[in-house]
Amino acid sequence: MTAATRTATEAAMSTCARCGATFSCAMADPSDGQPCWCTALPPALPVPGADANASCLCPDCLRQRIADAAVSANRPAAAG
């Protein structure tokens, strides 16, 4: 792999803010014109902007976050 190829590949990879895993993110590298894999999932978090200090979650962590949100949404509110 050449340095140019390595740089392009690294640019297309993101690091999960939760677990540290690396994964492909079309939001980070929109050069192929395809939507990111996360657009096929239910919305769970705001998508970080290009200038934001936040980062995306990997597929496993985002799916877990969606599942956790669904459980929380179905939990009855505490009586108070």
pLDDT digits (tens, 9 = 90+) for 14-73: 889 899 999 988 877 777 788 888 889 888 776 655 555 557 889 999 999 889 888 887
Per-residue confidence (pLDDT) for residue 9, from 0 to 100: 47
**pTM score:** 0.65
Residue 13 has pLDDT above 60, yes or no: yes
Residue linked to tokens 């902007």:
49
Structure tokens at 23: 């994964």
Domain limits of the chain?
3-74
Band of pLDDT at residue 4, cut at 50, 70 and 90: very low
The two three-digit tokens of residue 38, written as one number? 């996360």
The per-residue pLDDT for 52 is 54
User: CB within 8 A of 80, min separation 6: which ones?
Assistant: none
For residue 57, the one-letter residue type is L
